[in-house]
Amino acid sequence: MTSIVPLASGLAPAADERRLGLLRRIAEAGGRVEPNPNPQSRYGFDYLALGEVAEDNLAYLAGRNYLEQRFFDRVTLCPKCTGHHLNVREICPACRRSNLTTEVLLHHFRCGYVGRQSEFASAEAGEGSRVCPKCNHALRHLGTEYDRMGRTQLCRECGLVSETPPVEALCLACATRTPAENLVGIDFFSYALTSLGHAAIRRSALLESEDELLFVASAPLYRPRVMREFVDQEVRRLGQFKSGFSVLLIERIVSGDDGEDSDAFQWLWLTRLRQCLRGVDMIGQLAEGVFAVLLPQTTRRGAEALRQRILAQLGPEAPLALKAIEITEPRDLEPVLGRLGGLSAPQ
């Protein structure tokens, strides 16, 4: 049996030490970090509050629920050099130059001619008047003799008129010209510490043992001791910020039909249940056949709505009983902690 090894023992991998240090710096920054715009950085954003950091470490921690990942912005890149310094502009579909000008389209009611505003100009008609190039009729009254019909693009180089010229990006780093539809992009995210992240900081170690952490439907399922730490963290947050949370108690209903495959049957339902949860929700085992889902910053109304949604998703044949409990003060935890080896709620 393996267990969590504190970093102080010197046995933790160097990569875990770096990732744990990253969690600590995020905690020192207030528990949340956002990308910082920086034209000099490789992709236009960096995580200035964290110092030198590899984005793959943030992704690693988010993928294992130490951090909550939220979309922040997308940066468009040159497909050749991956530079983000791009000049994006419309170009002429014929000569591929960007020397375009926008002109208003006019519609002459009498003869039906539609053309650019510059075509209706005439020195003989006098200032403020226009002459139709088709019928040579003077146009003086907007709305009764003629009307505007939108805009078009005129290429000053070759004279081509185009209503929807293509968009192209010129890379200012390598001079590559790329149609807009062929550009590539990279997503940036903000990150916030989860209860698991706080627990790792307190332990000075990442959870990496199957005795502490399992995966169901590609999401973590935590053991009782770890769940107790998460509950303690939420209670401290409740005391400091008055930010309540909720818990879903889930109990396996054992029937006389359960046979040798009951364990596999249980995991099947837990897998389907896990797919109904949010990314920040944490599911763990309290006792044999008893599980709990920790729902941060969730009211009883939200927890009950989730319970109903799960029951509707699983169907009436699901061998699980679900109960929603809102935690607004420590004594509300008695039904949960009573399943954790008879522990009492913190005072």
> Comparing C-alpha atoms, which of 156, 176, 204 is closest to residue 85?
176
pLDDT of amino acid 5: 30
* Number of C-beta neighbours around residue 142 at 10 A: 11
**Token pair belonging to 132:** 């139709």
- Contact at 8 Å (CB) between 319 and 277? no
Tell me how far apart the alpha carbons of residues 8 and 37 are, in angstroms, rounded to a whole number.
Answer: 36
pLDDT of residue 115: 85
Q: How far apart are CA 213 and CA 201, in angstroms?
A: 16
CA-to-CA distance for 45 and 203, rounded, in angstroms? 31
Of the ranges 152-156, 219-223, 250-254, 342-346, which is most confident? 152-156
Give mean pLDDT, residues 123-149.
76
When the pLDDT of each residue in the chain is averaged and rounded to a whole number, the result is 79
295 Cβ contact partners less than 8 Å away, ≥ 6 residues apart: 245, 246, 247, 248, 281, 302, 303, 306
Range scoring the smallest mean pLDDT among 88-97, 123-132, 274-283, 289-298: 123-132
- Closest CA relative to residue 206, chosen from 38, 1, 11: 11
The label of the residue with tokens 């699901």 reads 318
Nearest Cα to Cα of residue 202 among 6, 2, 3: 6
Question: Would you put residue 159 in left (φ > 0), alpha (ψ -120 to 50) or beta?
Answer: left
CATH 2.120.10.30 fits 212-347, yes or no: no
Q: What pLDDT score was predicted for residue 256?
A: 52
Residue 284's H or E segment, with its range, is: strand 282-287
Domain ranges, ordered by start, for the chain: 92-165, 212-347
From residue 32, alpha-carbon distances to 28, 48, 50, 87 in Å are: 9, 12, 11, 33
**What is the spatial distance between Cα 282 and Cα 221, in angstroms, rounded to a whole number?**
7
Q: Which of 272, 292, 268 is nearest to 282 (CA)?
A: 292
SS3 call for 108: strand
Quick check: 246 and 281 in contact, CB under 8 A?
A: no
Residue with tokens 């209706």: 120
Between CA 75 and CA 34 the distance in angstroms is: 15
3-state secondary structure of 341: coil
For residue 43, what pLDDT is reported? 87
d(CA 293, CA 337): 13
Question: Which range (36-50, 122-136, 257-271) has the least confidence?
Answer: 257-271
Provide mean pLDDT across the span 255-268.
52
Q: Which amino acid is it at 133?
A: P
| pLDDT (average), residues 233-238 | 84
pLDDT band of 12, cuts 50, 70, 90:
very low
Q: Tell me the angle at which helices 195-203 and 14-28 cross, rounded to the nearest 10 degrees.
A: 120
- Eight-state DSSP code of residue 82: -
| Per-residue model confidence (pLDDT) at position 223 | 74
* pLDDT computed for residue 1 by the predictor: 24
Q: Give me the count of residues in the chain.
A: 347
